[in-house]
Structure 1
Amino acid sequence: MVTTKQSRRKGGEGQLERLAIAFDDERAVANAGLVLASTLAERLGVEAIVDETVDLGGRAGAARPGRKLLTLVGSALIGGDSIDDANVLRCGETERVLCHRVMAPSTLGTFLRCFSFGHVRQLDRALETIIGRAWAAGAGPGRQPLTIDLDSTVVEVAGHGKQGASFGYTKRRGYHPLLATRADTGEVLHARMRKGSASSQRGAERFVRELVARVRRLNAADTLSVRADSGFWSNATIAALERHGVRYSIGVTQQAHVREAIGAIPEAHWQPLADYPPQGVAEIAEGTLRGRRLIVRRTRLVGAQAELFPDWRHHPFVTDRQEPLAEVELDHRRHAQIELAIRDLKEGSGLNHAPSGHFSANAAWLLVSCLAHNLLRWLARLGLELHGPIVAQTIRRRYLTLPGRITRSGRRRTLHLPARWPWRERFGHALAQLRAIPLLA
């Protein structure tokens, strides 16, 4: 005998089985929230900047680089991580919520493959101009001190025939780009693609010089600080920072002379670190390393685990900052938040892999991902008025990938969004805020 509860359950299953499906709505919009990102891109004049800066000559795919770049950026914003994913922007009337014409994936692939090293540098210069306009619109640091985090990451690939892709220190095949992010927002200020076998220090000095010059051109604050791990530790990099008047805190590898400097710190100088988990103990102290201020944090386990690992583990870095020991050490530890920006670049802006077999095409793809990543952060700051680090997946789920439908009445188009959407008020407020930005094109 079937109970009433079982009958309801079976009835529910039958309802879904009787649900017909038809892909025939020409007015549907797959990712209606892209109207926010497109409004911001339009206000910043992204398409015009790219058209004016990137000159691909007479190569196939060279025409109208701005709209092709924006098609790739729009695809990345909604989770696309391959060139073919841009097809989502062509379904229904999704193109109506964009500020540009959507290009076909075959055209986009041709566009990326026609890039050379020089063209990638042109696109990098366009990214700088776009950052400057976003900062002028209110997303910049103003005259506040600016802290920048440096790091590298591995962009994994599956194919063995991709130019420049190889195995590095992680034993994973891919590329090994350098990244510089703004500490308080996570936006990417500079990026440079490198082959997979490149060490962390390869090209670091030039990268730092280009970064500092860019930030100075953007009229950032006079007080500029850089944080990095031991992969960026070299005399050349530190000398470049000192020449440009940039404060720094950079991790150091524990070579013999570093271990000697740590051993020379008197035991009485070590002071406990208060904000450390109870499973261990941590202490900090400072000394000197070849005339520079050396700060060291040492940690070890307590309890039963201490029998397995009884020794202190040291984490040193050098700095030219003059603030109190505990303050500088705490700030240097915050360098780890760059991993959140890298996570969002990969999970939120399409950098989890490189789609092309051409090195320069993948270098351009890196900058596409950086622009998508930055647009999301500027959208959060200028439209949603969120301050501090954000999570790309959260912004995408709440404000970008909601469905919609466009209707026409006379000469007016209306984008209909789901009733009772939990974040509808903030969505409407963000759109109004972005439309209030003066056109900078």
Structure 2
Amino acid sequence: MKACHSIVPVFDEANLVSAAGLVPVLELAGRAGLDGLLAEHLSVPSPNAVDKSRSVIAGMLAGADSIDDLDLLRAGGMARVVAGVRAPSTLGTFLRTFTHGHVQQIDKITGCVLAGLTRQVSGLLAGGRAENGMVFVDVDDTIREVHGYAKQAAGFGYSKVRGLNVQLATVSTPTAAPVIARARLRRGNVISHAGAPRLIAQAVNTARAAGARGQVMVRADSAYYLRDVLAAAVRHDAWFSVTARMNPAVVKAIASIGEDAWAPITYPTAVFDAQVGAWVSDAQVAEIEFTAFTSLPKAKQVHCRLVVRRVRRLQPRASDGSVQGELFADWRHHAFVTNSTLSTIEADQRHRGHAIIEQVIAELKDGPLAHLPSGHYAANAAWVAFAALAFNLARAASIAAGMATARWATLRRRIITVPARLAATGRRLVMHLPTRWPWAPAWAALWDVATGPPRPVTT
């Protein structure tokens, strides 16, 4: 296939819309109370803050990953279907007026909008609204690499690259994809678990405000193996499932597990083990009663279960029959602490589900967090907060469109960035969408949810 040389491109059509899917998504946001919440809670000293905030969110939904990219909303007839569009320079100035307090206001608005979305889209947190359901709160952080010396608070963190740290907490269920309860920007050289107890408290409260009535489980990796993290979960009536560091107490506990205590476990699908560079399809699990943080006073020690998964080593043994002289020469052990009442095998399965937060991080980095666009720290923090809000809107839209497992990029390609031609007839504005569009039924389903009567919320 080759291009036709008789085509003459002319940029002169004022009635074309390049992202018609923004109309139902923003309508869904309006029904969830976005505009009212922005007007009530956002006190940033900038005129028309609601319109500017909506412009930033709409641009992110359409694929903008920098302030300059927000200009895509001003092309063609977009201003006729998305009200209040502002120029990128105006939006950049708007973001630079934010302070830490204003960013926290956006965090609060994100939680309230999430609660509104769960009332509009029944598939959000599906299964978590039942009394016997389960809700997972996953906590993790990532480094967003930056370049140049104008980025405030940038530094070298655990990844050994210069950047800023983004910490987030997601909420999901066994049958529902994750949404973001909280996301915050931090300096680049911060330790991972800094501020985690408060983040957990906010995330659990957000999940319950969104209608989660089932048992909440807080999951995290070994960077969050901290007494205050576990205590925060317990304080909010949640289970915890946190990877344990291989300190002497944990190693001693693992060594005390008898051979007859190990039970085989087979994964439904193979799991890639990065440490050995191979796929693992079976392992063994066992558990033992454990007291964590015994160096602290007894009142602060945590009595829990230590669940251990062991995978047979794949590398050859040395001539003396050992592997690098380690204590566990034949097996590699992965341990985590939990206070849940699940069986050993189910506890291990639920804990491994923590990896779902990596998918959220990947989607954010493939979208608005491809860059942190400003040199001002507070402006970048506001950008991260708006990105979390936009992510939740995209998740709700994908569920409403019948694409519950679709990634954000897939939603953009199939639903949001579909072009349309505007035509006025009487007092109505008609969007003419492409004929034979493969995902027209999904687009129509989203339109029905966004503009039709509210649907009853089910568990």
- Tell me the TM-score normalized by structure 2: 0.86
Choose which of 416, 422, 439 in structure 1 pairs with 2:438: 422
Q: Which amino acid is the alignment partner of residue 153 of structure 1? A: T
Q: Is 1:97 matched with 2:81?
A: yes
Aligned position for 2:117: 134
Distance across 2 between alignment mates of 1:29 and 1:136:
30
Taking the aligned partners of 1:83 and 1:379, their CA distance within structure 2 comes to 24
Q: Distance in 1 between matches of 2:47 and 2:454?
A: 28
Which of 407, 428, 448 is the aligned partner of 1:391?
407
Deviates more, 1:391-400 or 1:215-224: 215-224
2:148 alignment counterpart: 159
Supply the distance in 1 between the matched residues of 2:17 and 2:30 (Cα, whole angstroms).
19
Match of 2:378 in 1: 360
1:33 corresponds to which of 1, 11, 21: 21
Match of 1:4 in 2: none
Q: Is the CA contact (8 Å cut-off) linking 2:402 and 2:445 kept in structure 1?
A: no
Partner of 2:38: 50
**Do the aligned partners of 1:51 and 1:64 also contact (CA within 8 Å) in 2?**
no
Structure 1's 154 and 64: CA in aligned 2 closer, same or farther, altered over 3 A? same
Q: Does 1:292 align with 2:299?
A: no
Deviations 1:387-420 (A, max 9, x none): 4x43111111111111111112233221111111
1:3 maps to what in 2?
Answer: none
Distance in 1 separating the partners of 2:155 and 2:334: 30
Task: State the Cα RMSD in Å.
Answer: 2.1
Quick check: 1:327 aligned with 2:310? no
Which residue of structure 1 aligns with residue 135 of structure 2? Answer: 146
The one-letter code matched in structure 1 to 2:155 is S
Aligned equivalents of 2:444, 2:263: Cα separation in 1: 52
Choose the corresponding residue for 1:402, options 418, 421, 443: 418
Correspondences of 1:78-97 after superposition (within 5 Å): 78-97=62-81
- Whether 1:433 aligns to 2:449 is yes
Check the 8 A contact 1:270/1:284 in 2, yes or no.
Answer: yes
* Aligned pair partner of 2:261 in 260, 269, 294: 269
Contact 1:43-1:437 at 8 Å conserved across structures: no
Secondary structure of the corresponding residue to residue 180 of structure 1: strand
State the AA in 2 paired with 1:129.
Answer: C
1:183-227 CA-to-partner distances (Å, cap 9, x unmatched) read 232110112221111111111122222223333444531521111
- Code of the residue aligned with 2:311 in structure 1: it is T
- The alpha-carbon deviation at position 311 of structure 1 amounts to 3.9
Q: State which drifts further: 272-281 or 135-144.
A: 272-281
Aligned to 2:220: 228
- Where structure 1 has 5 or more consecutive residues not aligned to the other structure, the ranges are 1-11
Which digits, 9 at most, give the CA deviation of each residue in 1:279-335, with x for residues without a partner? 655211111321320001111344xx4458764221110000112111110111111
Are 1:339 and 2:358 matched, yes or no?
yes
**Number of residue pairs the alignment of both structures matches:** 417
Q: Does 1:174 align with 2:190?
A: no
Equivalent residue in structure 2 for 1:66, among 42, 50, 53:
50
Partners of 2:287 and 2:10 in 1: CA distance? 69
* 1:245 has 2:237 as partner: yes
Per-residue CA distance 1:317-372 (angstroms, 9 max, x = gap): 00001121111101111111111111112213x01221111111111111110011
Return the alpha-carbon distance in structure 1 between the equivalents of residues 240 and 16 of structure 2: 51
Amino acid at match of 1:385: G
Residue 255 (1) aligns with residue 247 (2): yes
CA contact (8 A) 1:298 1:312 kept: yes
Q: Percent identity?
A: 36
Q: Supply the distance in 2 between the matched residues of 1:322 and 1:42 (Cα, whole angstroms).
A: 41
Once the two structures are TM-superposed, the CA of residue 437 in structure 1 deviates from its matched residue by 4.5
Normalised by the length of structure 1, the TM-score is: 0.89
